[in-house]
Amino acid sequence: MKEGEAHGESIRSEGEEFRFSPQPNRAHEINWRPWGEEAFRRAREEKKPVLLSISAVWCHWCHVMDETTYSDPEVISLINRHFIPIRVDSDRNPDINSRYNQGGWPTTAFLNHRAAALAGATYIPPETMRKVLERISELYRRHAEDITYSVEETFPQPEEGKESLHELVESTGEDILRSWDRAHGGLGGAPKFPLPEDILLALELRGDGAAGEYLEYARSSLQAMIRGGLMDRVEGGFFRYSTTPDWSIPHYEKMLLDNSELLSALLKAYNLTGESRFRSAAEKTASYIKRTLSDGKRRFYGSQDADEEYYLLGAAEREGRTPPPVDRTVYSDITARAAIGLLEAGAALGRRDYADLALASLQFLWAEGFREKEGLAHYLNGEPRRWGLLDDQTMAAAALARAYGFTGESLYLNRARALLDLVREMFWDQNKRELMDTSPGHSPVGLKPEPATLSGQAKAAEAMLLYWAYSGEEEWRRLAGLILSRWASKAASLGFMAAPLARAANLYLHGPLMVRIWGEREESVEAFLRVAHLSPKPRLLVLRLEVGTMDKEAVAEVCTMESCRLRTGDIEKLADHLAVSGPAMEEVLNHASGLPG
């Protein structure tokens, strides 16, 4: 056993790294195996059930289960004698997690040798686990075939109904307002998650004005998270969720994905309201991501562990203390979302270093994790691993399309197209007319490709729509529409949880507002770009055109996909048309007025 590079103790078995709680524990004494053909072969030959443990390095209760249940001598003995134990990292194997997760982490599931689920739970304390292990083992010895049922029966899909895309957007928005906790912000009760996709949808649905219930929901929710305990006021960044409705007692892990999406929501809220609290929170969040969840050069890291004692300390008391460990695994899908957040922060906050880090991270993914016929690997930990997952391709395609908009460099758009071509070739099931979560030949042993989750379908549609917006290639809008229409009915019963699909549907229905900017003088172009990125307009995309025009000073053109509404070389006219005002605009104008003519 050796000390893990990123989290606690780790061991390797059959080439797989298992990561355990950083606190003292005996979980490594269980004969864990990676998910693979060998484990299920042994289960078949030895006539034993499989114990599947799905864990995550940032998960507090996963650590507790390592320190208690999986450190209990009797539990260790029962598992090693009567089960084939498989341990899976949720972040590194999202397809396995999506099929077997029992509603949270840790997940403790029991399978047969065909990988069909028998029973499952989340955290199980030692005394209960002993009884469960004895009972499952006895039942399996006597009635292995009788107690088997399929994964599909365990996790039923939502029923199909008849709902158009317009109705999907409208009903999702209405459910957000119905579920809004007007006393504390956010949606629902405890446990309460920040749900940045719902906030972003609300900010898009509020129209062009700065009033209405959608804006108030988004504004009050972000404000409550900042004032409550969800935001780390000392080091910046947001914790994963709160155990109380008022955000006062968080679960202390910090996730790159959550913080990247919240960064986008904070920036949009600032553009809409001009309230400095949102800009300040965005600055602290972007700074935290760069300082702690990246190497500051080209790699983004997945998460930072929970440590309640540490985070309850003030700034002075944290001095000299070791901060919670960071999972330094680079995940392609999450890196892509972080790149989008930092590109937006770089443009809106005037921080070129954020944009540089975002662009460098996309270059790193491509150079280290891309194969021409397989796309992007899911994660990089010394070398690329786990190929053939849908979300990595689509989220990276979206980030590359946005990078094209920020830079005007066709390289990024070409790479986005390459990934989307692979998505169509490898993940599209023509018979089912929907995208699968894994490509043929890349599914883990015992699993077949299944329709991607609602979020996965939504992210794919969004990436296709972004590519359409920047390239004008209508075929990608048509395919996005097919995906969205197929899934609108499935989302009917999900309420506000359908926000990712509703956001993509809203972009499909109304199209983007495109701001194209060009000119030879860099300072002038940068000022125009800054104005565009400060606009509160919904579904706004910015495209910096490559130099090659006759215009020395910056020129901006504001267009829909059908017609153009404005062409101007006057920065104040652009700001007026895009409804940009307030202190940030004054900063841009003051800087622009000082530029040489």
* DSSP codes, 116-185: -EEEEES---HHHHHHHHHHHHHHHHHHTTTT---HHHHSPPPPP----HHHHHHHHHHHHHHHB-TTT-
Sign of CA dihedral 89, 253, 459, 377: negative
Burial of 472 (0-12, 13-18, 19+ CB in 10 A): exposed
- pLDDT at 4 (0 to 100): 33
Long-range contacts of 547-551 (CB under 8 A, 24+ apart): 547/518, 547/519, 547/520, 549/518, 549/519, 549/520, 551/518, 551/519, 551/520
Q: Give the per-residue pLDDT at 1.
A: 31
pLDDT at 29: 96
β-bridge mates for residue 324, sequence order: none
State mean pLDDT over 388-403. 98
pLDDT band at 440 (very low <50, low <70, confident <90, very high): confident
Whether the pLDDT of residue 17 is over 90: the answer is no
- Say if CB 161 and CB 491 are below 8 A apart: no
> Is pLDDT above 90 for 16?
no
CA atoms within 13 A on the CB side of 175: 17
pLDDT at 558: 95
| pLDDT at residue 14 tops 90 | no
Q: Is the pLDDT of residue 3 over 50?
A: no
The pLDDT tens digits for 399-418 are 999 999 999 999 999 999 99
The average pLDDT across 515-524 equals: 92
Question: How far is it, in rounded angstroms, from Cα 272 to Cα 199?
Answer: 13
Tokens 């307009």 belong to 537
pLDDT for 35 beyond 60? yes
pLDDT at 485: 93
Q: What is the pLDDT of residue 581?
A: 86
Q: Find the Cα–Cα–Cα–Cα dihedral 424, 429, 435, 437, rounded to 10°.
A: -110
Compute the average pLDDT of residues 1-5.
33
* Residue, of 375 and 161, whose pLDDT is higher: 375
Round to whole Å and give the CA distance between 196 and 582.
Answer: 25
User: Could you tell me which residues are beta bridge partners of residue 16?
Assistant: 13
Report the pLDDT averaged over residues 89-110.
Answer: 91
Q: Is 210 a residue whose pLDDT tops 60?
A: no
**In degrees to the nearest 10, what's the CA dihedral of 299, 303, 304, 308?**
170
Q: What is the pLDDT of residues 271-319, one digit of tens each?
A: 999 999 999 999 999 999 999 999 999 999 999 999 999 999 999 999 9
- Average of per-residue pLDDT values in the chain: 90
Name the pLDDT band for 7 (thresholds 50, 70, 90). very low
Region 163-177: what's the mean pLDDT? 91
What b/e string do you get for 309-340 counting C-beta neighbours within 10 Å, with b at 16 or more?
ebbeeeeeeeeeeeebbbbbbbbbbbbbbbbb
* Residue tagged 């070409």 (tokens): 414
Q: What is the pLDDT of residue 155?
A: 32
Please compute the mean of the pLDDT values over residues 77-85 and round it to a whole number: 97
Give the separation between CA 508 and CA 195, rounded to whole angstroms.
22
Structure tokens at 559: 């267009």
- Residue 307, classed as helix, strand or coil, is coil
| pLDDT of 104 above 60 | yes
Give the pairing of strands 107-111 and 50-55. Answer: antiparallel
Pairwise CA distance, residues 21 & 64, whole Å: 8
Please give the average per-residue pLDDT across 35-59, as a whole number.
93
Q: Which two three-digit tokens encode residue 97?
A: 């997690």
What CATH number does the domain located at 2-154 have? Answer: 3.40.30.10
- Top-confidence range, 14-23, 136-145, 485-494: 485-494
Q: In the prediction, which pLDDT does 153 show?
A: 35
